[in-house]
Amino acid sequence: MSKLISRTVLLLSLVSLFTDIASEMLYPVIPIYLSSLHYTAMYIGILEGIAEFIAGISKGYFGIWSDKVQQRLPFVRTGYILSALSKPLMIVFSNAWWILLTRVMDRLGKGIRTASRDAILSCEATPETKGRVFGFHRAMDTLGAAIGPLIALGFLYVFPEQYHWLFVFTIIPGAISVVLLFILKEKKTDKHSTDKISFFSFFNYAKNSSRAYKLLLTGFLMFALFNSSDMFLLLKLKEQHYDDIFVITMYIIYNLSYALMSYPAGILADRLGINRIYMVGMGLFAGVYFVMAWGVSDTFLWLIFFVYGFYAAATEGIGKAWISNIVPKTEVASAIGTYHSLQSIASIVASTLTGIIWVKWGASVAFSITAFFAITSAIFLWANRSSVKV
């Protein structure tokens, strides 16, 4: 693995690991903390919706900007530093606008860094090793997402309701990630454009991109339009009267599976084809939603969430590797950023539609429709495989 995973890839992966530890330490705590300040569920929902939308929609703009100036590290460093600072700042004031500002700051940091970081990962790999490089990074990132909630649960078990201190302790992994960032080096280049770009320039990029990218983007977005938030899976468990500990345990199993399977999924993608592994992932996604729609034995629920982790491992990093292989090197950040921005819009539609269908016809119908369109998207990509083959 040492020959495939360069020093730069390792450092970026460690940065993501420690950043996600900090983020996921707070993920299950933020709603509880805000509730303790007497904020309503509606405010919490609006807060998270705005923050996540800004993260997604900004990735296209910053990706195109990074390609225009042909620089990556300034965007990566700025993004991670903003996220590291935002977490402890959230508890300085309890004012609603301050909390909104710090959450937006955290998610904007993600928007600034993501496309540029992925462009660096792409440059550190060959077309034959993209799956492994993106898979390794995703494994480390998701490992942080599994470790973070475990730290939070352990801390709150020993020190109940000491939410403020948990926010303060995120300084430690955040500081480690920032220090690692400044070990990274980037080759300077004089090749850059001074043309102005608009915030929504990613729409123009999608319109003027190659046929292969358009087809791949269409398939990905068809999937995204019906791929609602993972919170609906957890809500389904709550609807079946499982307690909070069980639900959190399933979430941890999913993240551990995601982390453990990401690198093996990358190896398989490099050996068997990125497109094949991605479509296997979509098939697993559809299978999980069909099973969750119509019921599964308690004994096998852990297996369902483990399989769901493999779906994520087979699509998230693999999908970005696929994109980076069909666009020019100078457009990788633009292509990945555009995908993320359009995906964020699609995700809002997906979660809204799922919520409406759930209320009107129940979870079983909502999940079955989600599974059906996952299969439809996979069929579309398979039908166009000669045009988007890598």
Per-residue pLDDT at 311: 92
Domain around 234: 7-183+209-385
pLDDT tens digits, 184-195: 887 666 556 666
SS3 readout for the chain: CCCCCCHHHHHHHHHHHHHHHHHHHHCCCHHHHHHHCCCCHHHHHHHHHHHHHHHHHHHHHHHHHHHHHCCCHHHHHHHHHHHHHHHHHCCCCCCHHHHHHHHHHHHHHHHHHHHHHHHHHHHCCCCCCHHHHHHHHHHHHHHHHHHHHHHHHHHHHHCCCCHHHHHHHCHHHHHHHHHHHCCCCCCCCCCCCCCCCCCCHHHHHHHHCCHHHHHHHHHHHHHHCCCCCCHHHHHHHHHCCCCHHHHHHHHHHHHHHHHHHHHHHHHHHHHHCHHHHHHHHHHHHHHHHHHHHHCCCHHHHHHHHHHHHHHHHHHHHHHHHHHHHHCCHHHHHHHHHHHHHHHHHHHHHHHHHHHHHHHHHCHHHHHHHHHHHHHHHHHHHHHCHHHHCC
pLDDT tens digits, 223-274: 888 887 776 777 777 777 777 677 777 878 888 898 889 989 989 988 888 8
Per-residue pLDDT at 14: 94
Across the range 55-73, mean pLDDT stands at: 87
Question: Does 63 or 245 have the greater pLDDT score?
Answer: 63
- Block residue for tokens 């292969």: 212
Domain assignment present for 217: yes
Domain assignment present for 192: no
- Residue 67, pLDDT above cutoff 90: no
Which tokens belong to 117?
A: 């970081």
CATH number of the domain at 166, please.
1.20.1250.20
Across the range 320-339, mean pLDDT stands at: 88
Q: How far apart are CA 196 and CA 272, in angstroms?
A: 41
Per-residue pLDDT at 280: 92
Per-residue pLDDT at 6: 86
Across the range 283-296, mean pLDDT stands at: 87
Domain assignment present for 202: no
Q: Extract long-range pairs of 34-37: CB within 8 Å, 24+ residues apart.
A: 34/99, 36/161, 36/163, 37/94
CB 217 within 8 A of CB 206: yes
pLDDT tens digits, 147-165: 888 888 788 778 887 778 8
Confidence of residue 310 (pLDDT cuts 50, 70, 90): very high
Domain assignment present for 197: no
Domain assignment present for 256: yes
CB atoms within 10 A of CB 109: 22
Query: Considering its fold, how many domains does the chain have in total?
Result: 1
CB 239 within 8 A of CB 363: yes
Residue type, 41: A
Lowest mean pLDDT among 84-93, 191-200, 249-258: 191-200
Question: Does 4 or 315 have the greater pLDDT score?
Answer: 315
Lowest mean pLDDT among 229-233, 308-312, 380-384: 229-233
Domain assignment present for 390: no
Q: What percent of the chain has pLDDT over 90?
A: 19
Lowest mean pLDDT among 95-104, 249-258, 314-323, 365-374: 95-104
CB 122 within 8 A of CB 312: no
pLDDT tens digits, 2-60: 467 888 999 999 999 999 998 888 766 776 677 677 776 566 666 666 777 787 888 89
CB 53 within 8 A of CB 348: yes
Per-residue pLDDT at 191: 59
pLDDT tens digits, 347-374: 878 878 888 888 888 888 888 998 999 9
